[in-house]
Structure 1
Amino acid sequence: MSYAYTFEQIRTRPVTVIGAGTLGRRIALMMASRGGVVRISDPQQQTAEAAVSYVEEALPAVLAERGSGEAGTVVAASTLEEALHDAWLVIEAVPERLEIKIPLWGEVDRIAPADAIFATNSSSYASRLMNEQISDRSRLCNLHFYMPPVSTAADLMSDGETGREVLDTLLKVLPEFGVQPFEARKESTGFIFNRVWAAIKRESLAVVADGVARPEDVDAMFRLNWHMPAGPFQMMDSVGLDVVLDIEEHYAAENPTLPEGPRTVLRSYVEAGKLGRKSGEGFYRYEG
């Protein structure tokens, strides 16, 4: 099976995004910026429909800022079969738990077109860990996004068996959608940028866990010293503290020497229902 495509060859075929949460809907937004159809699938139909509304509202501004592109059609699919019909690319953006991802990919593999490329947006699990129910593992890879459309870089990484033409197709085609992929040359937990970000995030949490500073102090210093629009705690609130905790637990499982303090801070917020922007409160309070 060949997975070598040009943009012209795939522009009339849908892209499927499975998972309509914070990142899933932003991924759908980028994939809807070059015309065509994007189908969003989520176990909660209301969440999928909210993601469609988000994309429709945000897309004009993305196209205006880019100065090019074409608004696509975004659909909340009612079934996985509907979502996957004739798709050339399937992007999974469900919670960071292998017990969810492994059977989901098995189901996708049975339903999706035989020539569809599979990509997991997982930021902490190598795709190798979720490919056991996929018949042709050469079509699966990691494709991790960083809160588009503001951050357009993406990590691309083989599952150890990914076909070279799959990686080359994504490296060539994704810039058409305003996404800039960078290939990890060997398997690495955290990929490229996230390995650096994990150290910053963990030490920021440790500073708070040790009582040295408050989250707002750390963020203010980042904004002033590095001229950044947001600091680490603001960024964690945007990602979702439950997601950040899942990622940190995975890192700790691989490296038991990591300090417990950062995860203790995160657990206290998650257990209190303070998940960040999506719940209205995390390290900060949010209106609306």
Structure 2
Amino acid sequence: MSAGSSNAHSELRIGAVANGGPSDERHEVSFAVPQDPMTRPVAVIGAGTLGRRIALMFATRGGEVRIYDPSANARRDATEYVGSELPEVVQTVPSGTPGRVVTTDELASALPGAWLVIEAVPEKFELKLSVFAALKEAADPDAILTTNSSSYPSSSFASTLSAPERLLNAHFFMPPAQRAVELMTSGTTDSRVFELLRAVLPEYGLHPFVARRESMGFIFNRVWAAMKREVLQVVADGVAAPEDVDALWRMNTGLPTGIFEGMDQVGLDVVLDIEENYARAYPHLSEAPRQLLRTYVDAGHLGVKTGRGFYPYE
């Protein structure tokens, strides 16, 4: 489920778990908020750029983090990334202790006992929908289910669950450098879920912020998407080159990273997926920013992860 994984493969694997197994009556009971989160595993669905970074943060308190991804390469890269970063990051977390990260290609083996499940697959609606259909059968009945999606509200997936009050958006940025987490209701999320996450996430060095109502793009990304769209339009119109826009941005804001550099770090395929989703919701948006992104994505220039995006990288 990393950006380089086959979506068809991912959907097939998950669909088999969601639709092929026997029903389990334990998932029909009323949702009870987990009482012992610090002693139970966390499960991350997807070992891509964000999935492995999320797993890294939850591995800083001595517990177990499980990462599911059908791609062997993604699982290997995630293990290597956490292994290299954890010794330094754990020192920045209160009472930090290195935990254990395990990876699996079987969703059912990642979920037992997990108090928190974080979906972090690519921004493909049908793929995400199939994940939550699978979680209904395989996750513990008191597990909190979250989507890391930056553009799909969790209410889009509520119909797949028998207890939608345990579902919400938990949008991570780029930890460990950026540790804010935006929490947003599905419309039916139990208020106790927010209370628990607000109390527990800081234990992992994460800083939760709650969007008070459903908002496409949450808080920060709603503003960030507008800025990305406008700078892409500036370049598409031939007004300036990416490096000029970024130089002005750095000079006038004092920030170390330009907007085009930021898009390269996220991955231009991810940026395009998000923009396509915004365009479906808001048909009046200009096509030019997406056309510009497609020229890079179609050429395989996805940013830092491929060695070239708006800028070249070693």
Specify the TM-score bucket, using the shorter chain as the normaliser.
Answer: over 0.9
Q: CA offsets per residue over residues 133-181 of structure 1, 9 Å max, x none?
A: 1111011100000111111111101111111111111111111111111
CA distance in 2, matches of 1:102, 1:67: 36
Q: Which of 145, 166, 176 pairs up with 1:139?
A: 166
Q: CA offsets per residue over residues 170-211 of structure 1, 9 Å max, x none?
A: 111111111111111111000000011011111111110111
CA contact (8 A) 2:94 2:204 kept: no
CA distance in 2, matches of 1:84, 1:240: 28
CA distance in 1, matches of 2:294, 2:73: 28
CA distance in 2, matches of 1:5, 1:102: 24
Q: Secondary structure at the match of 1:283?
A: coil
CA-based RMSD? 1.3
Q: Which of 56, 61, 72 pairs up with 2:83?
A: 56
Q: Which moved more, 1:59-68 or 1:89-98?
A: 59-68
CA distance in 1, matches of 2:268, 2:105: 29
Structure 2 unmatched runs, 5+: 1-29
Partner of 1:244: 271
Q: Secondary structure at the match of 1:56?
A: helix
Structure 1 67/166 Cα, relative in aligned 2: closer, same or farther at 3 Å?
closer
TM-score normalized by the length of structure 1:
0.96
Aligned 1:141-220 pairs, distance under 5 A? 141-220=168-247
Please list every run of at least 4 consecutive aligned residues from structure 1 whose deviation after the TM superposition is greater than 4 angstroms. none
Q: Which of 117, 128, 145 pairs up with 2:144?
A: 117
CA distance in 1, matches of 2:32, 2:215: 24
**TM-fit CA distance, 1:49:** 2.3
CA distance in 2, matches of 1:114, 1:276: 40
Partner of 1:74: 101
Aligned positions, number: 285
**TM-fit CA distance, 1:66:** 4.2
TM-score normalized by the length of structure 2:
0.88
**TM-fit CA distance, 1:80:** 0.9
Q: Secondary structure at the match of 1:91?
A: strand
Give me the identity figure in percent: 55
Q: CA offsets per residue over residues 19-59 of structure 1, 9 Å max, x none?
A: 01011110001111111000000111221121011011101
Q: Which amino acid aligns with 1:215?
A: P
Q: Secondary structure at the match of 1:17?
A: strand
CA distance in 2, matches of 1:176, 1:66: 7
Q: Does 1:86 align with 2:113?
A: yes
